Structure 1
Amino acid sequence: MALDPERLLALEIPSRQVDYSDRDTLLYALSLGAGFDKDLRFVHEDEQRVVPSFGQSLTFDDSWMDPTGVDLAKVVHGGLDLRFDAPFTPAGSVELRSSIVGLGDKGEGKAAIILQETELLQEGRRIFTSLSSLFVRGGGGFGGSVGQQPEMNASPDREPDETFEVSTRADQALLFRLLGDRNPLHALPEVARAAGFERPILHGACTFGIACLTVLQRYCDGDPARLSRFAARFSGPLYPGETLVFSFWKLDTGISFSAKTKERGLPVLDGGRADIQA
């Protein structure tokens, strides 16, 4: 069913306060695979560092979907564009301010994209901004795109400067869902098959977080303060247990990247962008 643009763009999502502990930031890092390379900076409370994409897990809230006619079972993540103004403390409290800022229309009977912007403020200071693209199957045909649209980044037209493999675990989606996104698409085989997948898929936000951790470790010396922006589009599913093959291109402003599955050779992330401070 086509989305209702007036209803969505007029939606007022109440601001809310969210408290988080070091258990949450440690669990997030573990769910991305941190610690398996003996780098304990993200998975132990002594001088702990927080993977900056952790902020996205704090923003998760699907309570507005049903009242606006959006079927959660038809929603998958289309992409994320995150801006970091300051590193996260291992534990703390943030104020969330969220709104729907744009809708993309792929045509009648085709997909729609909902662009949701969320800001996190700590002690009145913005520390994190998320532009989240939600892909809604069958939601198109509402009269054309309106409002803000996702920025499109393209990888350089040349061979990558580096490739790197990262393995995922068979139970990774079951671990990541404990952070809040309990969409059954990522846990129940019958739901995944009904959606057209052979088995449950990994959360796009988890794949995105794996990419963020990988860039942080390889190009930022593990320092979250050096990463000011991180963005990518989700171009295909990743099944838990598969291996990600990253391609990286070095740019003046940071890194461009993409990723595919080693087992199936199919794209998973594209248009990746990481802005890195010297």
Structure 2
Amino acid sequence: MPIDAAKATSAEPRTTELVWEPKDVLLYHLGIGAGVPATDPAELRYTLESALHVLPSFATVAGGGMALAGGLSAPGIDVDLAAVLHGGQTVTVHRPLPVRGRAVQTSTVPAVYDKGKAAVIVLRSETADDYGPLWTCDTQIFVKGEGGFGGERGPSARLTLPERAPDRTVERRVREDQALLYRLSGDWNPLHADPEFAELAGFDRPILHGLCTYGITLKAVVDEVLGGDVARVAAYTTRFAGVVFPGETLRVRMWQEPERASEQEPERASAPQRVLVSVTAADREDAPVLADTAVSISPSGR
């Protein structure tokens, strides 16, 4: 069996050094559609080195996207890239990401779930520099045809969207070459560039990286709700519910609400807010793209 769940989850943590520079941040921001209009001050925060702020979703590609690569090369895991899809992603930010950095990423596989016809590999990557923790990434990798090994099915919690109309709805056009640009940040899976490989995976043409949609969506929330203040993002989670094809338009719906106070802190006066998000493909009758999506927001910049 290509996946040995026991071996993967019991393996020693793997460490990797991550290094990034402003040009890596600039390339990532361009890869998720920043810079339109090119001279807009709100866009220059993402595209001009002298004014650069780092969108927290950059954590998924810092150092060349080694978190996802590390999960697919973990002991006990040997899978066909044509069978791999990104199932879900969470980034928890411990402090604002620097525009230039050198850090150590520690990766483990906490679980491998058996979904019957597929397996889900759960990868946790914790990243810290000389000043302390920077971010934690939790990644779910969906592998078709690798289930049925008798393991636990895993959690299936879902977020319920408010019944009221969204507080904000925006549309974001995905460029025809968006996947070709985004892959330069480190995800070289040919599924996103090679038509023949995409056909082998069951698609009639290459699809957009799920993490590109993830970044586009976070930028929309930061711009629309937080006035561009990236430092207020505390955590961001999603489940990838469907594919996006380059050239399509994303419809992003947002609902703002306070997060529930915990039982230990029922009287919190400054409970952070969160934004619940739904992302659909506007060109395909609002076919679901991102689901169970939430951005947790700190009360003020850190």
Aligned to 2:150: 143
Matched, 1:19 2:40: no
Aligned to 2:169: 163
Written as runs of structure 1 = structure 2, the 5 A alignment for 1:53-202 is 53-58=57-62, 59-60=65-66, 61-62=68-69, 65=72, 68-107=77-116, 110-145=117-152, 149=155, 152-202=158-208
Q: Deviations over 1:209-228 (max 9, x none)?
A: 10111111111111111010
Q: Deviations over 1:122-141 (max 9, x none)?
A: 11511101110111101111
Matched, 1:52 2:61: no
Q: Quick check: 1:115–1:150 contact (8 Å CA) kept in 2?
A: no
Structure 1 runs not aligned, ≥5 long: none
Matched, 1:219 2:221: no
Structure (1 or 2) with the greater helix fraction = 2
Aligned residue identity for 1:98:
S
Counterpart Cα distance in 1 of 2:167 and 2:93: 26
Written as runs of structure 1 = structure 2, the 5 A alignment for 1:32-43 is 32-37=32-37, 38=40, 39-43=43-47
Q: 2:236 is paired with a residue of what secondary structure?
A: strand
How far off its partner does 1:64 sit? 5.5
Please give the TM-score of this superposition, normalised by the length of structure 2: 0.86
How many residues get paired? 275
Aligned to 1:272: 293
> Structure 1 pair 90/124, CA: closer, same or farther in 2 (3 Å)?
closer
Q: 2:44 is paired with a residue of what secondary structure?
A: coil
Matched, 1:257 2:261: no
How far off its partner does 1:149 sit? 4.7
Q: 2:46 is paired with a residue of what secondary structure?
A: coil
Aligned residue identity for 1:75:
V
Structure 2 runs not aligned, ≥5 long: 259-272
Q: Quick check: 2:71–2:109 contact (8 Å CA) kept in 1?
A: no
Aligned residue identity for 1:20:
W
Aligned to 1:230: 236
> Structure 1 pair 63/48, CA: closer, same or farther in 2 (3 Å)?
closer
> Structure 1 pair 95/150, CA: closer, same or farther in 2 (3 Å)?
farther
